[in-house]
Chain A
Amino acid sequence: MNRFQNIDFVRVYKVLLLRAMGIVRHYGGLDTFDGGFDYEDVLGDVFKEFLESPDGLGWKESKGRIEAFLGTILHNKIVDHLRRQKHLGGPLEDGNQAASPRSKNGPQNAAPAQAKSDFTERLYMLVGDDAPLRDLIAAAEMTSGGPNVNQELGDILGKTPHQVSKLKERLLKKEGVRELYAARQAAKTRA
Chain B
Amino acid sequence: MPRDKQPKQEPDILENLFGDPADLADDELDLLFAALAPGTDAATHVRSIAQGAAVKHRLQGKLPPNHVQAALDGTREITTLDNMAPSKLRQVVDAIKAPFAGPAFDPSYAYRNRDGELDTDDQAIIDALTEDLQEDWNDEDKEP
Q: Is the CB of B16 within 8 A of A163?
A: no
Q: Is the CB of B42 within 8 A of A14?
A: yes
Given A67-B22, A166-B113, A145-B9 contact (CB < 8 Å): no
Q: Is the CB of A48 within 8 A of B53?
A: yes
A17 contacts B by Cβ under 8 Å = yes
The DSSP consensus for interface residues of chain A is: helix
Q: Is the CB of B22 within 8 A of A65?
A: yes
How many contacting A-B pairs (Cβ < 8 A)? 190
* A146–B70 CA distance with the chains assembled, in angstroms: 30
Given A14-B42, A25-B14, A169-B31 contact (CB < 8 Å): yes
Given A132-B117, A145-B15, A48-B52 contact (CB < 8 Å): yes
Return chain A residues, CB-CB under 8 Å to B37.
17-18, 40, 182
Q: Of B60-68, B77-85, B119-127, B128-136, which binds chain A? A: B60-68
A147 contacts B by Cβ under 8 Å = yes
Which A residues have a C-beta under 8 Å from some C-beta of B? 2-5, 7-11, 13-15, 17-19, 21-23, 25-26, 40, 44, 47-48, 50-52, 54-57, 59, 64-65, 67-69, 71-73, 75-76, 94-98, 112, 115-116, 119-120, 123, 132, 136-137, 140-141, 143-150, 153, 159, 162-163, 165-169, 171-173, 178, 180-182
Q: 8 A-B Cβ contacts within 8 A?
A: A10-B74, A11-B29, A15-B24, A47-B49, A132-B117, A162-B115, A171-B17, A181-B18
Q: Top 7 A-B pairs ranked by shortest CB distance? A: A145-B11, A149-B19, A51-B53, A95-B7, A4-B70, A18-B21, A56-B67
